[in-house]
Amino acid sequence: MTKKLWGGRFQKGTDTLTDDFNSSISFDARLYKQDIQGSIAHAKMLGRQNIITENESKTIVKTLQEILKDIENNQIHFSIDMEDIHMNIESILTERIGDTGKKLHTGRSRNDQVATDMRLYVKDICSEMIDLIKLFGNTLLDIADKNTTTIMPGYTHLQRAQPITFAHHLLAYVEMVKRDMIRFKQTSDMADSLPLGAGALATTTYPLDRYFVAQELGFKGVCLNSIDAVSDRDFCLDFLESVSILMMHLSRLAEEVVLWCSAEFHFVTLDDAFSTGSSIMPQKKNPDIAELVRGKTGRTYGDLISLLTTMKGIPLAYNKDMQEDKEPIFDAFDTAKICIKTITKMMASMHINQNEMHEAAKGGFSNATDAADWLVKHGLPFRDAHGIVGQLVYYCIENHKTLDSLSLEEYQAIDPIFDRTIYEAIDLKTCVNQRNIVGGPAKTIVKRAIAINRNFLK
Ligand code: ARG
């Protein structure tokens, strides 16, 4: 049991179980960079404001920079006795420069310190997530670009509905991840105010220059209320929500890939490098990567719910419960990062079975709407047209035919209005390329959408 930095009013050391239970160093060590950044800015400001001397300020800054290097070179051992990253670094500083090191914490509390560290950290990981999303989105655009004429069935209720192209289908996911990007940007904005200066909860009597510190650390502004500054973890929740929604999107894609690579669909073939085998069934090639992305989505929801629940009952201002913000954030970030990186490579290496997609689009009467639209263009009200094509479909099912393979006589037996141009109208290519209003699957429209998205994801 070592003497704690806060040990003055205590007659006795802490129990080892207390140390184990209370300490966060085993996980918050990853905040070392942000913690040192924050301390450097604080020390510079203390010097400028003559709260400590210019020399003391310089010594602290220089030593903190050395400590940062030493941590990065694995030369520092953090101690559980020092509880968390903040006190570990402060005590190393004091070991190295004695009493001067003890002055760093002037006008500061761990409460505004940890809030600052977390905001810096969340801003950093938001920008990392945005870069990963861009990479993923561009990978989808690359695949889309090669598949603007790859016809496949579009589904509703997982029943073949209308023909689309694989490019158009992928662009739906691009829209989702564009929103994800915006969400991470908004999360970063939510984290973009400086808590330092709030102290434990009620600021401080020292003439701190909070705007200087904010500028040094790249914050857009300063937190306006000291109580909120140390109590707010909304930005953490925003991050967890952004991760959860991103993961939900990846999970839907993963689910589709699982379906597509089944023998029943056979729309895609996964590269061997992104598939796994079975320990008993020699023939198996399983989409474990996609399944794990789908599976890991659940734990990120858990991270979000965990912190929401932690936060819901704690009175203002800081409470130790809030130390529980870190592991969900770290876990959600690690999970989302590995998932999006892996699914990006899995998608990039996946083979698209264009013929199978096309064959599937031919079945299931996916061009029935177009037959009805042909009738409408020849003067029938849509409801009547719907009824007539319904009869045609029923006739086809009974006689094991498709709309394309019916003879003109068979068409005319159901309604004499039909003529030869019906065949052109229900050709899958026509079905896709006639849907050429903005948002549609026609090749020209999809090409334009790809270009717009390329620009967005630059
Ligand atoms: N390790 C703590 C946390 O993560 C730092 C803040 C501790 N503040 C306190 N008053 N005990 O929340």
Whether ligand 1 lies within 6 angstroms of the CB of 105 is answered as no
Distance 75 CA to ligand 1 centre (A): 25
Domains, the chain, in order of start with CATH, read 7-106 (1.10.275.10), 118-201+224-359 (1.20.200.10), 361-457 (1.10.40.30)
pLDDT tens by residue, 357-373: 999 998 889 899 999 99
Distance between CA 49 and CA 206 in Å, rounded?
9
Whether ligand 1 lies within 6 angstroms of the CB of 110 is answered as yes
User: What ligand 1 atom has the least distance to the C-alpha of 24?
Assistant: 1
C-alpha angle 447/449/451, rounded to 5°?
75
Nearest CA to ligand 1 atom 3: 323
Q: What share of the chain in percent tops pLDDT 90?
A: 92
pLDDT of 281 above 90: no
Whether ligand 1 lies within 6 angstroms of the CB of 121 is answered as no
**Which DSSP string corresponds to 142-179?**
HHHHTTTT-EEEEEETTEEEEEEEHHHHHHHHHHHHHH
User: What ligand 1 atom has the least distance to the C-alpha of 200?
Assistant: 10
407: CB partners within 8 A, 6+ apart = none
pLDDT tens by residue, 67-105: 999 999 999 999 999 999 999 999 999 999 999 999 999
Distance 320 CA to ligand 1 centre (A): 6
Distance 83 CA to ligand 1 centre (A): 9
Distance between CA 41 and CA 56 in Å, rounded?
14
What residues form DSSP beta bridges with 162? 154
pLDDT reported for residue 261: 95
Whether ligand 1 lies within 6 angstroms of the CB of 231 is answered as no
pLDDT reported for residue 2: 65
Token look-up 């330092």 returns 196
pLDDT of 285 above 90: no
- End-to-end CA gap in the chain: 54
- For residue 355, the Cα-to-chain-centroid distance in whole angstroms is 33
Decide if 358 is catalytic: no
Residue 167: closest CA among 456, 457, 421, 448: 448
pTM of the model: 0.94
Token look-up 């701190």 returns 208
Distance between CA 281 and CA 40 in Å, rounded?
59
The phi, psi pair for 276, rounded to 5°, reads: -135, 165
Distance 26 CA to ligand 1 centre (A): 14
pLDDT reported for residue 339: 98
Distance 132 CA to ligand 1 centre (A): 31
pLDDT tens by residue, 3-52: 788 888 898 888 899 999 999 999 999 999 999 999 999 999 999 999 99
Candidates 6, 22, 34, 111: which one to mutate for ligand 1, based on the most atoms within 8 Å of Cβ? 111
pLDDT tens by residue, 206-253: 999 999 999 999 999 999 999 999 999 999 999 999 999 999 999 999
Q: Is the peptide bond before 317 cis (omega within 30 degrees of 0)?
A: yes
Decide if 79 is catalytic: no
